[in-house]
Amino acid sequence: MINKSLKELAAMLASKDISSVELTQEYLNRIDRHNPEINAYISLDQEKTLAQAAAADQMLAQGTASALTGIPIAQKDIFCAKGWQTTCGSKMLENFIAPYDAGIIERFNAVGSVNLGKTNMDEFAMGSSNETSYYGKVQNPWDRRRVPGGSSGGSAAAVAARLCAAATGTDTGGSIRQPASLCGLSGLKPTYGLASRYGMIAFASSLDQAGPMAKSCEDMALMMNVMTGFDERDSTSLNREKEDYTRDLGKPLAGLRVGLPKEYFAEGLEAGVAKVVEAAIDEYRKLGAEIVDISLPNTMLSIPVYYVLAPAEASSNLSRYDGVRFGHRAAEYDDLMDMYCKSRAEGFGAEVKRRILIGTYVLSAGYYDAYYLKAQQIRRLIAQDFERAFEQCDIILGPTAPSTAFKAGEKADDPVAMYLQDIYTIAVNLAGLPGMSIPAGFAPADDGKELPVGLQVIGNYFDEARMLNAGHAYQQVTDWHTRMPEGIA
């Protein structure tokens, strides 16, 4: 049951082989067993969840169901959900109960999907290991001593441990793809503007994008059909015709031009990861794809550019948490300024404070031109690299992360080493392109343990359907996406 695809689960629900209430209860039981150790969920509400499942069963009985009706989905705790605690992994929002639904939540509710609970995450989506959460670190189901990646680490761990049928995540610089790679599942960041940001707690507004996390590309295509679409409440939402992201699944890959950026296979990539990615590329050759060597010369500038622009936007977005209107307020203070200072000092964690300070600095009058403006100019160059590359190829392949999952605490005292985990993913966000990670095999870690490796697939703007077909074709001839960690049956 827990390994079945969304399509298979939908067929079982439609044929009355199982009810949504029964399926949901199965996942709730698994969460009871495994979540105390893995810590994938921040908040659960069994009463609300089962009520949604019962309503889904009514839709199924009335014949008004769609592909995801009755399917239990885990929601990243960055999305407001009416009546649910919504914390963004921070003490600052520990007592915040959302008064409305985010656009993404509304879309899942409209088709009768079931909200299993809110998943753990790095505080305000700032992190690559899920160690900055106020609610404690998430453990990687493949090795409990290791991180699941971040910031969508709770969603990734929930899918990997089969504590949900699928999950939502958000990706600002790799926060869907990197944990998908480290936990051995599929994760997709859509083209910027395809999925509504309304009710998604902001980190960096020009970079944040919601996307699906699931076992396979077919599952993600079904989720994309629900998650995407114009939302007039979101000023960055794109008003374009609705697509069916399953439409290309099953098409042959003969003639598909696959670009390999030389910069993605240079110094810094672990040998074991490189070997797995090269084997995946060989599979694409066998499937009829044409391999093309390309260059993305400004790739190595993406990290410094991102860590100017993202903190700058974060310093602006997080200024609303002042202890006045909502969020944490210090219990004792002398005056208004003291309340601001103490509330923020107590409510924000160390990584969030670090990024606010960096962002405020680069936006200050004396440094705006030298840092922020220059970073925006290089961002344009990075996007132009991709534009030139897609004149030579249809999709780009490479590693998602430079290594397999690292041990908890290993990089906690070295922010730069942590930031470098996103070296292959950040440029995609800076350019606003779609990118995804799919399981490609296993590589030995430092202690010899075999851990998941992700293959990154990057597409041109609005080319998600072709990307999903490219991933689906690979998953038809491999079984990496069906593997699950030991000890979580």
Catalytic, out of 90, 113, 133, 151: 151
**403 is a catalytic site residue:** no
**76 is a catalytic site residue:** yes
DSSP 8-state secondary structure symbol assigned to residue 370: I
Q: Is 73 left (phi over 0), alpha (psi -120 to 50) or beta?
A: beta
Rounded to whole angstroms, the Cα distance separating 6 from 360 reads 44
Rounded to whole angstroms, the Cα distance separating 34 from 214 reads 19
Catalytic, out of 175, 315, 343, 403: 175
**15 is a catalytic site residue:** no
Token representation of residue 288: 């009829």
3-state secondary structure 172-191: CCCCCHHHHHHHCCEEEECC
Residue 168's beta-bridge partner residues?
212
Using DSSP, state whether 55 is helix, strand or coil.
helix
Catalytic, out of 5, 76, 237, 343: 76
Q: How far is CA 154 from CA 140, 191, 224, 268, 289, in A?
A: 9, 23, 20, 27, 35
Token representation of residue 484: 């699950």
Number of H helices, E strands in the chain: 15, 11
Q: For residue 23, which of 155, 160, 116, 107 has the smallest C-alpha distance?
A: 116
Cis preceding linkage at 5, omega within 30 = no
Rounded to whole angstroms, the Cα distance separating 235 from 239 reads 10
Q: Are 455 and 486 in contact, with CB atoms under 8 Å apart?
A: no
Q: Are 169 and 425 in contact, with CB atoms under 8 Å apart?
A: no
Rounded to whole angstroms, the Cα distance separating 197 from 200 reads 5
Token representation of residue 377: 């100019």
| Residues recognised as catalytic | 76, 151, 175
